[in-house]
Structure 1
């Protein structure tokens, strides 16, 4: 095993160019930790926020990356064997301790799932955070049931596409939004029954299809569209804000009595390491391998292309999950 590794490090907040490829000492795992040789990792907008300095309490320098997949290099506690294929996510990765933007990452064993699969690394790299977010939002926060009418606001995001496919397989009627009419086919191929072209206000379009409103709403755009999404829900419906691709964390003004319709519930889903461990990743990987669940990969980069990868994420040009292969 080498004594050093390559990692993408940030020393100060800023644009994509603050990500610097450096040689760092190899992490040494302690009992209860797992050293993973990283074979792939996905990019996430939360890492973009951290890079910009918007994630409070994250010290620099830091190796970003809230997820990774790879092979166990060492596991002193004996929970895993060298060579095991594993996935990890959340639990402080890339925030409280160095994350997956590296050739190796050291994480607590309690946030690692072992996988038995022959899927290619770029596919596995797209899965951990994306699928735990989609799964957790649907079944933990929204408590999705068969025959629910589900609206996915931000349907062409990687989480939105995964959520549509999972929800459709579960028996829900899926409405999904996009700002680009050319993406309608993509949405329908991933489980959307109805596609809505989003001009910022879609409540009236939803009511034309579902006059009483929808049961469940997965909000992936964020505060810029949340008030309008709340208007699409029927009484006793639930709206879950999970994503913030609109890049705004706060409302300038928010009056709950005006914004939240009577008897409509508003919740959120963030997803920690416990949520990741509850995600049936092996079952989902088996579905992907069988062709029952599509993983949409937008772009694949190498570690030394991390600056370009972040620019692609920030400008929403990928058309699917961005994956990096160290």
Structure 2
């Protein structure tokens, strides 16, 4: 099979497409013929060498979608559509950047969908993190206000979509003025241009502050996000677009505003019930739900795809189609850059 191998931390040139042996199926594990896989910020961190618990060389990729190829001793059957995510993928063992991936059954979520593979490939990890952040991290309720710091990231768009589906009012930020219209087009109620200090603007829109906030930028923006949140409101730290996630010299009483709650979220496949994945895929097929824009690349352009992630050159999710996933060309509705 063909696979993308990261030889060691460094530039995009360290991502190399190689011929590797097909992984051998074994009980409790599922081999999936990968059709598409999404790119995530954590894989960018891994390529830079700032992620923990990674062995090199490695086939990266903490998510993939495709067809079950073998599942000995499992409730799954060859031919089923399935998503694989987390559980050590692309860190403890080879991940989804390949034509085939072998993952524990606990990391697999089956589904049924007639959507094109690039559309499906944008869903698993993004939806899992958005859904888990808003439910476990924030306990977001209908009628509440939500601030998303980092709104034009793939996770930002997904969180906005899930929050709107929940019945919340959504405020979301972008550092690029030209992307304000993108946020509005995908249903954000109040797009905000982020100049690094937005709390005053948030309080003008929502006197007293928002009920909930999702921090996706990282620790540089966190104090301002906390200041944008009402007393007894909650901030969930779930992303690191800034590549900074350590709070230096942390003194909680001075750092966290009085009465504001700070939580975090990081989950796995168990946090994305099959029924939830299926429900949103069905809504996407009916054009009743969108996780945001998708930019698709063929696998041989993996370096280009990583470059646009690193330079923040695209808005939304970047997806890679394997040769079998792209056999009929990149489907309409996606864009190849």
Q: TM above 0.5, one fold?
A: yes
> 1:112 touches 1:277 (CA, 8 Å); kept in 2?
no
Quote the residue 2:335 is aligned against.
Answer: none
Rounded to whole Å, the distance in 1 between the matches of 2:224 and 2:274 is 31
2:297 maps to what in 1? 301
Query: Which is worse superposed, 133-142 or 52-61?
Result: 52-61
**1:230 counterpart = 2:232:** no
Residue number in structure 2 paired with 1:159? 155
Separation of aligned partners in 2, 1:248 and 1:279: 34
Q: Does the alignment pair 1:186 with 2:146?
A: no
Alpha-carbon distance in 2 for matches of 1:315, 1:16: 12
Structure 1, 300-309 or 87-96: larger mean CA deviation: 300-309
**Residue 264 of structure 1 corresponds to which residue in structure 2?**
260
Tell me if 1:247 matches 2:243. yes
1:141-163 C-alpha deviation (Å, 9 max, x unpaired): 10000011110111111111111
Q: 1:275 aligns with which of 271, 278, 284?
A: 271
Q: Is the 8 A contact 2:186 2:292 kept in 1?
A: no
Q: CA deviation at 1:277?
A: 4.2
Moved more, 245-254 or 32-41: 245-254
1:85 corresponds to which residue? 81
Residues 187-215 of structure 1: CA deviation (Å, up to 9, x unaligned)? 12222111111000000000111111111
SS state at 2:272 partner: helix
The residue number in structure 2 matching 1:95 is 91
State the aligned residue count.
Answer: 322
1:289 is aligned, of 267, 282, 285, to 285
TM-score by length of 2: 0.93
Matching residue of 1:141:
137
- Note the C-alpha offset of 1:279: 7.3
Contact in 2 for aligned 1:45/1:313 (Cα 8 Å): yes
In the alignment, is the contact (CA less than 8 A) between 1:240 and 1:269 conserved in 2?
yes
Contact 1:35 1:106 in 2 (8 A): yes
Offset from partner CA, 1:35-90 (integer Å, 9 cap, x none): 00000000001011111111222111110000000001111114111111110100
Q: Distance in 2 between matches of 1:101 and 1:107?
A: 13
Instruction: Please name the residue that 1:315 is paired with.
Output: 311
Distance between the aligned counterparts of 1:101 and 1:187, measured in 2? 29
DSSP 3-state at the match of 2:191: strand
How far, CA to CA, are the matches of 2:252 and 2:74 in structure 1? 51
Structure 2 residue runs without a partner (length 5+): 323-337
The answer (yes or no) to whether the contact 2:32–2:69 under 8 Å persists in 1 is yes
What is the TM-score of this pair, normalised by structure 1? 0.96
Q: Is the partner of 1:188 in helix, strand or coil?
A: helix
> In 2, Cα distance between the equivalents of 1:8 and 1:279?
31
Structure 1: segments with no counterpart, 5+ residues: none
Determine the structure 1 residue equivalent to 2:170.
174
RMSD, matched Cα: 1.2
Mapped contact 2:128–2:269 kept (Cα < 8 A): no
- For residue 51 of structure 1, what is the aligned residue in structure 2? 47
Q: Distance in 2 between matches of 1:155 and 1:316?
A: 13
Among 71, 76, 83, the residue aligned to 1:75: 71
Counterpart-to-counterpart distance in 1, 2:275 and 2:112: 15
SS of equivalent to 1:235: strand
Q: Which stretch shows the higher mean deviation, 156-165 or 183-192?
A: 183-192
